[in-house]
Amino acid sequence: MKQRYLVTYAVLALVWGLSFMVLVRVVAAFGWAGTVSFRALTAGGALLLVALLMRRRLDFGCGWKPLAISGFLTVVMQLAGIAFAAPRIGTAMTAIIVSAIPLFSMVVGRIAGLERLNERSIIGLVMGFAGIVLLVGFPHAPLTPEFLFACAISIIGSFSAACGSLYVSTRLRNTDPWVVTIGSFLWGGVMTLPLILFVPLPTVPGMTDFLWLLVLGFVTSALMYVLFFGLLAAIGPTRAISVEFVVTVVAVAAGTLILGERLSMLQIIGGAVIIAGCALVLGIWPGARRQATGL
C-alpha cells in the first residue's frame, strides 16, 4: 500500500475511533433519529458548500438512484444502527460489532458472485460469527430484551454498511468521491428526517450540542467519507473496510479509559475472535501475503 493510502488509513482509524464519544453526546441532545438526519444533512450540505467555494466541478451524471441507494445503505442503515445502539450497549461494544463489517462484506460478495470462498475464508467467517455470539450473549451487564434488540439493530446496520461498500465499489467506482459522499449524505438525511416525528428530540439542544453536531457531521462524516470512498476506489473494498479493525481498537480504548465502560472477559474474547476471523477472511494475518480483492 502506498504511503499516502497508509496515511489516509491511519487518519480514518483515529477519527472514526474517537467519533463514538462524540456520537453519544449528540444522541443525548438530538435523539438517535435526529442525530442521523442532522448529521447527514450537515455533512452533505457542508461538503457541498466547500466544493462550491473551491469551485470544484461536481458531476452528478451517475444519476440520483445509485446515490440514493448508497445513502440508504451507508448512511441511513449504518448510522442509524450505530446511533441507536451506542447509548444502550456502550461505544466499545458497538465498535466491536462494527468491526464485523468485513465478515458481512465477504458473505455478501460471495452471494453476489464477487468473492470466492476458500478454506481460510470459511474458517475466518466461522470464527467471526462465533465471536459475535460471545459478544452479544455474554455481556458484563444483565442480558435484557432492550440490550439484545440494540445489538440486533447494530448488526443489521453493519451488514448494510457491507452491502453499501460493495455497491459503491462496483456501481460508483468511477464516480468522484465528493459526489458520492455529498449525494449519499443528502439522500440519507432526507430519508431519515421524517423519523423525527416519531422519535422527537429528548431535550432542547444548546450551543455546545450544535458544535458537537458540526464536528460529527462535517469532520467525522463528510471529510472522512470522502477519504474512505477514495480509498475504496484506490485499494478495493475488502482492504479499505479492514480499517474497521483499527477503528475498533481506538474506540474500545477510548470507551474503557475515558468513558469508564466495562466489557466481560467473554466479550473481550469475542472481540478478539471477530478481529482474528476478519484477518483470516482478508488475508492480512502476520506473515501472510496481502491479497487485493478484485471487485
Stretch 205-232: mean pLDDT: 88
Residue 139 pLDDT: 61
Residue 291 pLDDT: 41
Q: How many CA atoms lie within 13 A of 201 on its CB side?
A: 13
Residue 286 pLDDT: 53
In the predicted structure, residue 72 carries a pLDDT above the cut 60: yes
pLDDT band at 290 (very low <50, low <70, confident <90, very high): very low
Distance of CA 270 to the CA centre of its chain: 19
Residue linked to cell 465471536: 131
Among the residue ranges 28-37, 45-54, 65-74, 93-102, the one predicted with the least confidence is 93-102
The SS3 of residue 224 is: helix
pLDDT tens digits, 92-117: 788 888 877 877 877 777 776 666 66
Q: Whole-angstrom Cα distance, residue 149 to residue 45?
A: 32
Residue 195 pLDDT: 93
CB 69 within 8 A of CB 211: no
Residue 135 pLDDT: 65
CB 92 within 8 A of CB 261: yes
pTM: 0.78
Cell numbers that stand for 203 in this block = 431535550
| Distances in whole angstroms, Cα of residue 272 to Cα of each of 97, 100, 142, 262 | 11, 11, 22, 15
